[in-house]
Amino acid sequence: MTVGVKVITKPKRTLAEQVYVPEIAKGLGQTMKRFFKNTLGPDEEKEIATVRYPEEKREYPARFRGIHRLTQRSDGSPRCVACLCCSTACPAQCIHIEPAEYEPEDPRYGYERFPARFVIDELRCIYCGYCVEACPCDAIRMDTGMHMPPSTERHHFMYEKETLLELPGRDGTYLTANPRHEPGDATHPGVDRLKGH
C-alpha cells in the first residue's frame, strides 16, 4: 500500500510583508489611537474602566478567596483543634501549626488540642482553598473579602494566630455559620476522654 503525499507550496510574500515594518506600524497606530482616545478623549467614548484604587474598589464576587481567617468559638477561643489537616492539604506548604494540650482542669482536656502557634505565610500561599476544604471544624476560612495589603517587608505577610483571629468575615462576624457542639454545652454528644465513644 502506498501513501500519497500532498505537497503544499509556501505562499509568496512581498518584501514589505517579509520585513514586517508596515504591520508593526499598523499595530502601533492602533495602540496610539486607543491610548489617546482613552486618556484625552471625552468620557462617554472611553473604552476602559479605570478604578482609582484605593479610593475606589471593585466589588469582589461572593466566592472570592481572600485573606485567611480563623473562626472563633462563642468564648473567643479559636475553633481550630490543631488536627493538621489544613497544613497537610496545602500544596504550597505555607501553614505551620504547633499543637498543644489543654490544662487537665479544662473540659476539653484529652478531647481535643488547640494551636499554640498557627502561622500562614501569605506570600507562599497560592489561594487554592484546599485548607478550607480540608478543615473538619470549619476553623479556617477565606471569606474576608480582602486581598493582601501591599508591603515591602516580608514579615508583614506572616500571619500569626492572633492576626488571623482578628480578621472578620465578609459579614463582619468572627464566628462561623456552621454550629459545633462544644464540651459543656447541653447539645454536646458527651464524647470525651472519660466517656469515650
Q: How far is CA 105 from CA 83, 100, 108, 109, 129, in A?
A: 21, 15, 9, 7, 36
Q: Are residues 153 and 97 in the same domain?
A: yes
| Mean pLDDT calculated for residue range 80-107 | 92
Decide: 158 and 119 in contact? Cβ < 8 Å.
yes
Q: Are residues 97 and 22 in the same domain?
A: no
Decide: 123 and 93 in contact? Cβ < 8 Å.
no
pTM score of the predicted model: 0.68
The pLDDT assigned to 137 comes to: 86
Instruction: Examine the pLDDT at 196 and tell me if it is beyond 60.
Output: no
Instruction: Examine the pLDDT at 182 and tell me if it is beyond 90.
Output: no
Counting the structural domains of the chain, the total is: 2
Please write down the long-range contacts of 25-33, taking CB distance under 8 Å and 24 or more positions apart: none
Q: Are residues 77 and 149 in the same domain?
A: yes
Q: How far is CA 32 from CA 10, 36, 37, 100, in A?
A: 34, 6, 8, 62
By C-alpha distance, which of 91, 86, 52, 54 is closest to 161?
86
Query: What is the domain extent for residue 33?
Result: 15-50
Q: How far apart are CA 193 and CA 40, in angstroms?
A: 73
| Mean pLDDT calculated for residue range 20-47 | 87
Q: Are residues 108 and 157 in the same domain?
A: yes
Q: Of all helices (H) and strands (E), which one includes residue 95?
A: strand 95-101
96-105, 142-151, 182-191, range with the lowest pLDDT: 182-191
Q: Are residues 91 and 119 in the same domain?
A: yes
Instruction: Please indicate, yes or no, if residue 75 is contained in any of the structural domains.
Output: yes
Instruction: Please indicate, yes or no, if residue 183 is contained in any of the structural domains.
Output: no
Q: How far is CA 34 from CA 21, 22, 91, in A?
A: 20, 19, 42
| Mean pLDDT calculated for residue range 51-61 | 83
CATH code of the domain in which 103 resides: 3.30.70.3270
Let me know the angle formed at the C-alpha of 141 by 179 and 109, rounded to the nearest 5 degrees.
55
Most confident of the following: 9-23, 122-136, 142-156: 122-136
